[in-house]
Amino acid sequence: MTTGKGSSLIGVIADTHGLLREWAVAVLKPCDLVIHAGDIGRAEVLADLRRLGRVVAVRGNVDRDPWARTLPKNEVVQVGAVHLYVLHDLSELDLDPKAAGIAAVLYGHSHAPAVEQKRGVLYVNPGSAGPRRFSDPVSLARLRVTGTAVRAEIVVMPEP
């Protein structure tokens, strides 16, 4: 899963709550892989994302309908030489990512976008790409994986 430049572009989306915006689809379209970090809201959101290519998704706290029961609560995704750990609620992280060889932890739940390094592990919350809540921006994230390096950027939907 690498591009011609020896790197992969990974789209990370969360907290869609049943709403997949055209803006998000356009931002995710060039990605080699799309990861949904939970609170998907409707099976159709995943079906629409799968039209873009490979999708990995985990179940969030609002994903309780029968279609979501088969989704895991967490997932380890290998992209080239790195491992990404995906879960919805960071407070449910049940391992030491550094000791487990995880390069990045991808999560949602808070609706607040964040990118930070802790003890050599990248933590990325793409924010919420679904209905606007409070003053949080509508956002998602993109990761660039090159060799063992992982870089992240938050992409915020422009205001109309």
Written as six digits, the tokens of 15 are 């907290």
What is the residue-level pLDDT of the chain in tens, covering all 160 positions? 433 458 999 999 999 999 999 999 999 999 999 999 999 999 999 999 999 999 999 999 999 999 999 999 999 999 999 999 999 999 999 999 999 999 999 999 999 999 999 999 999 999 999 998 878 899 999 999 999 999 999 999 998 7
Distance between CA atoms of residues 13 and 92, nearest Å:
18
Task: Tell me the pTM.
Answer: 0.95
Asked if the 7-156 domain carries CATH number 3.60.21.10, the reply is yes
- Domain ranges across the chain: 7-156
Per-residue H/E/C for 58-71: CCCCCCCCHHHCCC
**Cα-based angle 71, 61, 135 (whole degrees, multiple of 5):** 125
